[in-house]
């Protein structure tokens, strides 16, 4: 616990805040995109924006795995549970995201589908072992952080001949998302990135080097503790001042340049690049996601079951796509706080605890909704 306290020390926070005030040049405006929902969450939970000078602005990025998954994929998972009678194992945050006809997996569960919230891929394997007469599908989502665990589960299932287990793979790649933001038709002004932390423990900081150089933006790999976010902001401001396009690693206690080679080996053994994948907000991006290699296709739910694909449009007026690209702030969405609240979410960014809209609403509503006199009820 000493470890946690050290990263939440008030005195250190004040010292970094003072250094940021000094480093931020008065005539400039700094737009720093924090890539991950974990960063956004820390900024709001600890009120970090209050400690920043007025010309340092955080722009929230797309690094929320639940947020970037298009509704069609949730709909497909729901088909597995409802039409193929499988036990669908999911990470908790997926439960409440509205999919087709604004129906969520939680509603499907209430209607009788066998959907189980799990904490790790090992739970899904155990459920498969305990229910050999049923098909068990793990709804795999997430960036590179969660991918190795899925790879290991498939390896274990293969080794044990666990034939009733399969994976509905939705793993996506961080550098591709970063590239899509920088490459957008109307790119948003960003001076520097606070790069992914947990993801980088796996892939290292090297994959960002090409992007930083090509697009001329410094990237600081930033931890999720509030002091990490502040220290990374300071490093990013200094890099912007120097006109540097480097990748710096603030999260050096966990991230190396080359990452975790063992985890990478597992990933390459089980997964290969998908030609393209549709992201909510970022659209269809080539080489941005993973699929299960043909050698392990018996564990691929997309091969094992016939899944129909339907296009599902987002709720009219929902600005999740623009918010995920950093082009809008949650409060600029017409639905924010009026029809869209965590109790009645219209888009994924209001559902996930890592979503920017949920962070604004749950931690920062006092700041942004001065006119909304309507008290919120659960």
Q: Which residues bind another protein (CB under 8 A)?
A: 1, 4, 8, 10, 13-14, 36-38, 44-51, 64-66, 91-93, 95-96, 117-119, 123, 141-143, 145-146, 198, 226, 342-343, 353-354, 361-367, 369, 372-378
Question: For residue 145, how many C-alpha atoms fall within 13 Å in the half-sphere facing its CB?
Answer: 17
By beta-carbon proximity to another protein, the closer residue of 172 and 211 is 172
77/83 Cα distance (integer angstroms): 10
CB 246 within 8 A of CB 218: yes
Which ranges in the chain belong to alpha helices (H)? 2-6, 10-23, 37-45, 65-68, 71-83, 105-110, 121-130, 147-160, 174-182, 198-203, 207-215, 226-241, 261-270, 301-304, 320-324, 356-368
31/58 Cα distance (integer angstroms): 6
* Least Cβ distance, residue 67 to another protein (angstroms): 11
CB 288 within 8 A of CB 59: no
147/140 Cα distance (integer angstroms): 8
* Least Cβ distance, residue 31 to another protein (angstroms): 20
By beta-carbon proximity to another protein, the closer residue of 17 and 318 is 17
By beta-carbon proximity to another protein, the closer residue of 173 and 239 is 173
By beta-carbon proximity to another protein, the closer residue of 93 and 191 is 93
* Least Cβ distance, residue 271 to another protein (angstroms): 18
Q: Are strands 283-286 and 276-279 parallel, antiparallel or unpaired?
A: antiparallel
Q: Are strands 276-279 and 30-36 parallel, antiparallel or unpaired?
A: unpaired
By beta-carbon proximity to another protein, the closer residue of 118 and 307 is 118
By beta-carbon proximity to another protein, the closer residue of 207 and 226 is 226
* Least Cβ distance, residue 48 to another protein (angstroms): 6
* Least Cβ distance, residue 123 to another protein (angstroms): 6
DSSP summary character for residue 210: H
Which residues, other chains included, contact 155 with Cβ-Cβ below 8 Å and sequence gap of 6+?
A: 266, 269, 270
* Least Cβ distance, residue 216 to another protein (angstroms): 28
* Least Cβ distance, residue 306 to another protein (angstroms): 28
By beta-carbon proximity to another protein, the closer residue of 64 and 239 is 64
């Amino acid at each position: 616990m000493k470890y946690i306290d050290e990263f939440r020390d008030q005195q250190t926070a004040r010292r970094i805040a003072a250094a940021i005030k000094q480093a931020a040049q008065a005539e400039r405006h700094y737009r720093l995109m924090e890539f991950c929902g974990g960063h956004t969450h820390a900024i709001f939970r600890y009120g970090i924006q209050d400690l920043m000078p007025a010309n340092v602005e955080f722009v929230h990025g797309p690094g929320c795995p639940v947020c970037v998954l298009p509704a069609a994929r949730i709909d497909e998972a729901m088909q597995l549970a409802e039409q193929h009678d499988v036990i669908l194992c999911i990470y908790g945050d997926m439960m409440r995201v509205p999919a087709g006809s604004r129906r969520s997996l939680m509603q499907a569960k209430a209607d009788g589908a066998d959907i189980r919230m799990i904490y790790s891929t090992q739970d899904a394997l155990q459920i498969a072992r305990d229910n050999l007469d049923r098909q068990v599908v793990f709804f795999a989502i997430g960036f590179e952080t969660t991918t190795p665990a899925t790879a290991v589960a498939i390896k274990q299932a293969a080794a044990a001949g666990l034939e009733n287990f399969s994976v509905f793979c939705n793993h996506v790649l961080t550098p591709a998302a970063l590239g899509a933001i920088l490459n957008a038709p109307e790119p948003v002004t960003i001076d520097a990135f606070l790069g992914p932390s947990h993801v980088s423990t796996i892939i290292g900081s090297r994959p960002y080097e090409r992007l930083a150089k090509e697009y001329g933006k410094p990237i600081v790999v930033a931890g999720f503790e509030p002091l990490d976010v502040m220290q990374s902001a300071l490093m990013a401001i200094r890099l912007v001042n120097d006109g540097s396009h480097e990748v710096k690693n603030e999260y050096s206690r966990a991230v190396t340049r080359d990452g975790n080679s063992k985890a990478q080996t597992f990933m390459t053994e089980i997964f290969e690049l998908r030609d393209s994948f549709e992201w909510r907000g970022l659209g269809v991006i080539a080489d941005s996601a993973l699929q299960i290699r043909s050698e392990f296709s018996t564990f691929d739910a997309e091969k094992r079951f016939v899944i129909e694909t339907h296009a599902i449009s987002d709720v009219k007026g929902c600005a999740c796509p623009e918010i995920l690209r950093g082009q809008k702030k949650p409060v600029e969405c017409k639905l924010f706080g009026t029809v869209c609240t965590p109790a009645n979410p219209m888009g994924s960014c209001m559902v996930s605890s890592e979503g920017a809209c949920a962070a604004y609403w749950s931690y920062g509503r006092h700041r942004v909704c001065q006119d909304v006199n309507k008290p919120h009820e659960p």
